[in-house]
Amino acid sequence: MREINKDHINVIIIIVLSLFIAGLFLYLVLPFFLVIFWGSLLAFFLYPLYKRLNKISQNRKTLSSFTTILIFIIFILTPLFFVGLQLFFQVQNIILKLNEFSLTRLIEFFEHWREKPLFSKIYPLIEPYLSHFQTQLPQHIPKLAEKLILSLSSMVTWSFAFVIKLLMTLFILHYFLVDGEKIIQTIKELIPGSEDRKQIITKRIAFIIEGVLYGNLLTALIQGVLSLLIYLVLGLSSYALLAFLTMLASFLPFLGTALIWLPTTLYLFLTGSFIKGVILLLYSALIVSQVDNFLKPLLIGGKTKIHNLLMFLAVVGGLAKFGLTGIFLGPIILGLFLSVLEIYKAHLLNNSESTKADQA
């Protein structure tokens, strides 16, 4: 009995020490969490390209990794950088314009619109609310403008930190591409159960994660890019902001992207741009909104489809907790949560059923 107790104590000590050391390691890498996350996410998307390049280069992994990263920088990162700059300046411009209108020309602005086709019929309905709107708006807009000015003053510091984090992300991406298979194999070894059971569980996890990334995040990005193109072609001043909002709206159930392009179409009609309004309406309804119906099944194939409500909660919760990174991190956490449920169902429940069968 004493020997058994000693063995139990030794096991407990080993477990406690292991958890303590693991906790220290997690605490050590916690400041680099977002960098590691972005590196792993990019590796997931870029790995098929890396694998193809590695085959062409006859298994020269470092060369294939550097080539993959260079292609990513030229064709994806650089355009995203300029679109992000436009997004920032367009938001700044809207806030400053709202501030100007709220303090000086709000009534004159609506009076000018009163002469526009269609808007003349709507104007009498909103006229009683204009005075109240003009009183309340100046109390909020200056605060937004002040925060924007403060953010501009710290932009140099932020830019330096962003460049450092970007370089670290690319550095981690390189090793995830080169050693990705080894990392996955190590994780697979930690999963309890037989080799066949491990294979079933890892495939199921891969289906869930790919369903989240390809079926939801990638389709949202594609809808954002398609929207950006049409907003840019039509000459809308806030094209980057509208495209970003369209991408976010794609996660919402029911209306989805129509929540953005329908009001934008209405705006074009009210301001007399009938041709632009018709083009935007047809393009958005026939192309942007149909990505969910045609492209999503093609991308996810037989992979697990995530319920829209769960995806919506994951995206909104991710935005609330992690900012813009949460658009990606929230759905990934959802995918991992569903994966843990799959491990529970496949391992623990099956074990309990086999135990009952043995007892019977």
Tokens of residue 249, six digits: 């709206």
Kindly state whether residues 313 and 330 are assigned to the same domain.
yes
Q: How far apart are the first and last CA of the chain?
A: 30
Are 279 and 321 within one domain? yes
266 lies in some domain: yes
Q: Residue 153's pLDDT is what?
A: 53
- In a domain, residue 23? The reply is no
Whether residue 11 is contained in a domain is answered as no
pLDDT of residue 106: 57
Q: Are residues 214 and 159 in the same domain?
A: no
Tens digit of pLDDT for each residue in 72-91? 999 988 988 888 888 878 87
- CB-based contacts of 56: which residues, under 8 Å, 6+ apart? 64
Q: Which of 187, 202, 222 is the last residue of a domain?
A: 187
> What percent of the chain is predicted at pLDDT more than 70?
71
51, pLDDT greater than 70 = yes
Q: Do both 179 and 103 map to the same domain?
A: yes
Is residue 135 domain-shared with residue 222, that is, in the same domain? no
Residues 6+ apart with CB under 8 A from 329: 37, 318, 322
State the CB neighbour count (10 A cutoff) for residue 240: 23
Better-predicted residue by pLDDT, 276 or 102: 276
State the number of CA atoms in the 13 A half-sphere of 284 facing the CB. Answer: 29
Whether 207 is in a domain gets the answer yes
Claim to verify: residue 229 and residue 338 sit in the same structural domain: yes
Q: Does any domain span residue 294?
A: yes
Comparing 158 with 47, the larger pLDDT belongs to 47
Domain shared by 182 and 251, yes or no: no
Q: What is the pTM of this model?
A: 0.72
Q: Which residue shows structure tokens 């992994």?
A: 61
Q: Report how far residue 46's alpha carbon sits from residue 173's, in angstroms, rounded to the nearest whole number.
A: 9
Does residue 135 sit in the same domain as residue 114?
A: yes
Do residue 142 and residue 173 come from a single domain?
A: yes
Chain-centroid distance of CA 49 in Å reads 21
Helix (H, G, I), strand (E, B) or coil at 116: coil
The CA distances from residue 3 to 9, 102, 216, in Å, are: 10, 81, 55
Q: Which residues form the domain of 76?
A: 33-187
| 251 Cβ contact list (under 8 Å, min separation 6) | 216, 220, 311, 312, 315, 316
Number of domains the chain contains: 2
Token couple for 120: 């003349």
Q: Which of 132-141, 157-166, 311-320 has the lowest mean pLDDT?
A: 132-141
pLDDT, tens digit, for every residue of 93-104? 776 666 555 555
Q: What pLDDT score does 229 carry?
A: 95
Under a CB-based contact definition with an 8 Å cutoff, are residues 102 and 137 in contact? yes
Whether residue 202 sits in one domain with residue 138 = no
Q: Out of 115-129, 175-189, 240-254, 265-279, which region has the weakest mean confidence (pLDDT)?
A: 115-129
C-beta atoms surrounding 323 within 10 Å? 11
Domain boundary among 168, 187, 206: 187
Let me know whether 251 and 339 are in one domain. yes
Q: How far apart are CA 225 and CA 331, in angstroms?
A: 20
Mark whether 182 and 236 lie in a shared domain: no
pLDDT number for residue 272? 82
Least confident interval from 24-28, 147-151, 312-316, 337-341? 147-151
**Last-in-domain residue among 187, 221, 255:** 187
- Position 1 scores a pLDDT of 46
